[in-house]
Amino acid sequence: MTSGIRLTAFIGGILCLVWLLNRALTEQEANPPEQVQMAIKVQPVPVEPVHSEPSVEPEPVHEPESMVEPESVVSEALTADHPVPDQLPSISAAYQNSIGFSQYVTAMQALGGRFFIYDDTRNKLLDAFSPLSGKTHTIQPSNLAGLSPRLRELSYESSVEPVLSRYRDRHSQSRIKWVLLLPVTVEAQINAQLSQAFQSGVLPPGEWVRAEAEYQMLGERLVLKLLQLRGRSGVESVDHTVHL
């Protein structure tokens, strides 16, 4: 009797489990689980925006004074402080009837002036020249250091003519002359004194092209005596001394 009860209970339990399992499967089919969709989100990597820099004008480079050529410094100083030489009348100065050839050459060399043989056709200095000895020399850079490029053509001189004749034979197609170059500082001194004389009224105003002058000795010092001014305004006698 007891065994029958236990068997009945066992079978009942199995039937209960089968019923519960069947119920669960039925609910699963009626309500299937939600499907989870996997989404891949592409997020761009943040990039710093590129801003074009506004164009900036380069600042001018100011060179130190030591980098400027000495010739340029002198030229700028003359232009800034004194009239340009071409604005002043050219000077035609004689020495033959006052101090003479030898004293003229000696005085000019004492001022730092240098004499040269010059080819006027080709605008070229040919050789350095010592008028008192008649000797010529190859031009060295040191011969031109500190000299103004303004040529002073010299007229006929009997003691110089034999040297010029040799160069004329050698350069038959050229006009050969002898010329003087003065230091830049001496040229500036002459221009400054002339400018001051015109500005102060010592020399008369006018469109003067040439000044007639004569070299003289004032004690032991060489001076340039202005005698006449010539130009569109006519001819006017003057009496003004330029110290060298």
Q: How close are the terminal C-alpha atoms of the chain, in Å?
A: 163
Q: Which helix (H) or strand (E) holds 192?
A: helix 184-200
Judge whether 67 lies within some domain.
Answer: no
Q: Which helix or strand (DSSP H or E) is residue 102 part of?
A: helix 101-110
Clarify whether residues 95 and 210 are in a common domain. yes
Residue 52 phi/psi, 5-degree rounding, is -70, 130
Phi, psi values for residue 146, rounded to 5°: 80, 5
- 190 with 172, same domain: the answer is no
Position 76 in a domain: no
Contact 104, 95 (CB under 8 A): yes
Domain that holds residue 240: 84-100+184-244
SS3 for 186? helix
Task: Looking at the structure, tell me whether residues 225 and 168 fall in a common domain.
Answer: no
**DSSP code per residue over 2-45:** HHHHHHHHHHHHHHHHHHHHHHHHHHHHHSPPPPPPP-----PP
Ordered per-residue pLDDT tens for the chain, 244 residues? 555 555 555 555 565 555 555 554 444 544 444 443 433 333 333 333 434 444 444 444 333 333 333 333 333 333 334 343 347 899 999 999 999 999 999 999 999 999 999 999 999 999 999 999 999 999 998 889 999 999 999 988 999 999 999 999 999 999 999 999 999 999 999 999 999 999 999 999 888 999 999 999 998 899 999 999 999 879 999 999 999 9
Q: What is the CATH number of the domain that holds 235?
A: 3.30.160
Q: What's the structural domain count of the chain?
A: 2
φ/ψ bin of 199: left (φ > 0), alpha (ψ from -120 to 50), beta (otherwise): alpha
Check residue 52 and report its DSSP letter. P
Nearest-5° Cα angle at 142, 139 to 143: 45
Which residue carries 């020495």 as its tokens? Answer: 95
- Is the pTM here over 0.85, yes or no? no
- Asked, for residue 109, whether it belongs to a domain, the answer is no
90-94, strands of its sheet edge to edge? 90-94, 208-218, 221-231, 234-243
